[in-house]
Amino acid sequence: MVQRLTGQDYLERYGHAWNEPELAREYVERTDRDANQREDGFKIMIGLLPFDSDQALHVLDVGTGQGAVAALVLDAFPNATAVGLDVSEPMMEIAGERMARFGDRFRYVLGDFVDGTLPPDLGGPFDVAVSSRAIHHLPTDKKQRLYRELYQSLKPGGGVFNLDSVAPPDDVLRQRYREAGRVIRGQPRTGESAYRGGGLPGHYYEKLDEHMDLLRNAGFTSVDCFWKRLGMTLLGGYKA
């Protein structure tokens, strides 16, 4: 179930105006343009999935948005099916367009996971859970609850893989990340920050070690940061 909020209340809970169709499409267009900055992270995510390419995996994509991560998994595993969980009705419409080529291999569930609980109608258990740029909208205690629920929703031998932002270790690196982000984007070293390390409604960032501890506390083993580019990381672990 999705809470019917508007205005600042919606932003405080969900971090962006996902309920506004124009802004949802603008966000998708922006992430399409910036996809090359995360390309290696996505490739590593697919490579870390501990399955043969012909296996009939059942995948959960948390905060699926337009379905981009689910599509990568479905392309890499032709017999896989995926459930995309997201709070945004406009994103569901966009995903309907972009994911139509997968037919009934992809199912979109409109649901709210910001309190750290998964909707009961997802249809698990799952072989793997993936996410990209979504879980940072949960405060620390709710991230912990979500990771525990994901752990319970997975079959043994599966894993969780989250491509998302973490906080810099200190203020010196925070500034270095900002300047490096501008250089990467071809911008001058002054101006609007390309790295958003906090301060926005509905955005919560732990440091790298803190975030990996959340995964370990949920029960995941072999937890690691598998890829990192400034504040953007691929974190995850396995269910023994």
- Residue 66 has what pLDDT? 95
Strands (E), 69-218: 81-86, 106-110, 126-132, 154-165
* Number of Cβ atoms within 10 Å of the Cβ of 189: 9
- The mean pLDDT value for 86-96 works out to 95
Q: For 152-210, what is each residue's pLDDT tens digit?
A: 999 999 999 999 999 999 999 999 999 998 898 888 876 554 444 446 889 999 999 99
**Residue 60 tokens, joined:** 């959960």
Digit-coded pLDDT (tens) for 3-14: 777 778 888 888
Classify domain 7-238 at the CATH topology level. Answer: Rossmann fold (3.40.50)
Structure-token match 């390390």, residue found: 197
> What pLDDT score was predicted for residue 111?
95
Q: Looking at residues 85-102, what average pLDDT do you find?
A: 96
Q: pLDDT value at position 198? A: 47
Give pLDDT tens digits for 15-31.
888 888 888 889 888 88
Mean of the pLDDT values across residues 227-231? Answer: 96
Assessment of whether the complete model's pTM goes beyond 0.85: yes
pLDDT of residue 191: 53
Tokens describing residue 4 = 């019917």
Mean of the per-residue pLDDT values for the chain? 92
Q: Is the distance from CB of 87 to CB of 118 less than 8 angstroms?
A: no
Mean predicted confidence (pLDDT) in 102-112: 97
Instruction: Please give the Cα distance from 229 to 214 (Å, whole number).
Output: 21
**Cβ neighbours of residue 156 closer than 8 Å, sequence gap 6 or more:** 239, 240
Mean of pLDDT values over 73-92? 97
pLDDT tens column, 109-128 = 999 999 999 999 999 999 99
Q: Report the alpha-carbon distance of residue 169 to residue 165 in Å, rounded.
A: 12
Encoding tokens for residue 227? 């890829």
Helix (H/G/I), strand (E/B), else coil: 165: strand
Q: What is the mean pLDDT of residues 37-46?
A: 94
Could you give the percent of the chain with pLDDT greater than 70?
A: 95
Going from N- to C-terminal start, the domains of the chain cover 7-238
Q: Which residues partner with 109 through β-bridges?
A: 85
Eight-class DSSP state of 118: -
What was the pLDDT predicted at 195? Answer: 44
pLDDT-above-90 percentage for the chain: 75
